[in-house]
A and B are shown apart, each in its own frame.
Chain A
Amino acid sequence: MGDFLHMGGYAFYVWASYLLGLIVVVVNLWQPRRAEREVWRQLKRRRRNEERMNESETP
């Protein structure tokens, strides 16, 4: 295990690369998730407002 983490003396360079790769993946997983949640929230809010308007128009 120690050997594995040591990476033949290149530990910093190798692990920094993999960590950075992980960060890029996580950011790119989070972005579409955020966009989807945001757009669905907007769509549903809009729908609710429309329904409210319709109700007030027909007493």
Chain B
Amino acid sequence: MWAWLHRLGSPKRFYGWSGALARWAGWGSLLLGVAGLYYALFASPPDYQQGESVRIMYVHVPAAWLSMFIYMNIAFASLISLVWRMKVADMFAAASAPIGAWFTFLALVTGSLWGKPMWGTWWIWDARLTSELILLFLYLGYIGLLSAIEERDTAARAAAVLALVGVVNIPIIHYSVEWWSTLHQGATVTKFEKPSIAWTMLRPLLLMALASTLFYIMVALRLARAELLRREADSTWVRELIDGHQGGGNR
């Protein structure tokens, strides 16, 4: 099992399978995203309390989900890179960070755009909003740390430690609406209970969440692959790749 994982994580192998995976994730994301948008904007009912503003949820919740999911991916990849010194894990974590920062930003702003008409305020300093803002700072800190340290392996190790320390913030974000009083509504979809949301609204929500997850996988893999080629430019397999592509396209 570990030997197998190690082989998959070797630069040459990774380059091979990640290309195919990125392509499939991209097309899957497009397909699910189009269906999700159709249900989100046309084929789902307005909320009985929130009216049409509930449609913000189909952007906001997937963005918020991704902000945490990407962070967990970075933390997991960081752990692997610290323990097994797997270069590919470093590159995947580094590639994930800007995507995570963008989606955290999107979650915060769409939250604001939803909060104004529903709560009457753009922002409150409650636990949920504050911990999500801290998540954005964690992403920015991670990116800053990576670029601030000259020596690549030291930078990767420092950033990995930061990512692992920051993991504390994730359960805080998740449980903040239960632990502290807030204007923010509780979770609508949990793993263990029946979701407290009608299927007509759950359908676009799940489609959009899945589409954004696939989108993230596609973008992160492509960024990691580009970085991998840059670092491995002198290795035999990259040379062979270049020869195979002379005169051809970019793939």
- Residues of A whose CB lies within 8 Å of any CB of B are 4, 7-10, 13-14, 16-18, 20-21, 24-25, 27-29, 31-33, 35-40, 42-44, 46-47
Q: Can you list the 6 inter-chain pairs with the closest CB atoms, starting with the nearest?
A: A32-B222, A8-B52, A35-B226, A10-B53, A7-B52, A17-B110
- B53 pairs with A35, CB closer than 8 A: no
Task: Kindly name the residue among B41, B98, B116, B222 whose own CB sees the greatest number of chain A CB atoms within 10 A.
Answer: B222
A47 to B247, CA, bound (A): 13
Given the known interface contacts A39-B230, A42-B230, A46-B233, the answer about A20 and B219 at a Cβ–Cβ threshold of 8 Å is no
Let me know if B31 is at the binding interface, CB within 8 A: no
A9 to B50, CA, bound (A): 11
B186 — which chain A residues lie within 8 A by C-beta? Answer: none
Q: Nearest Cβ in chain A — how far from B84, in angstroms?
A: 25
B105 — which chain A residues lie within 8 A by C-beta? Answer: 24
Contact among B98, B109, B242 for A44, CB-based, below 8 A: B242
- B219 pairs with A31, CB closer than 8 A: yes
Q: Which residue of A lies closest to B98 (CB)?
A: A31
Cβ contacts A to B, 18 pairs, < 8 Å: A7-B55, A8-B53, A9-B51, A10-B117, A13-B53, A13-B56, A14-B56, A17-B109, A18-B59, A20-B109, A21-B59, A21-B110, A24-B105, A24-B106, A31-B219, A32-B223, A36-B226, A39-B226
- A43 pairs with B238, CB closer than 8 A: yes
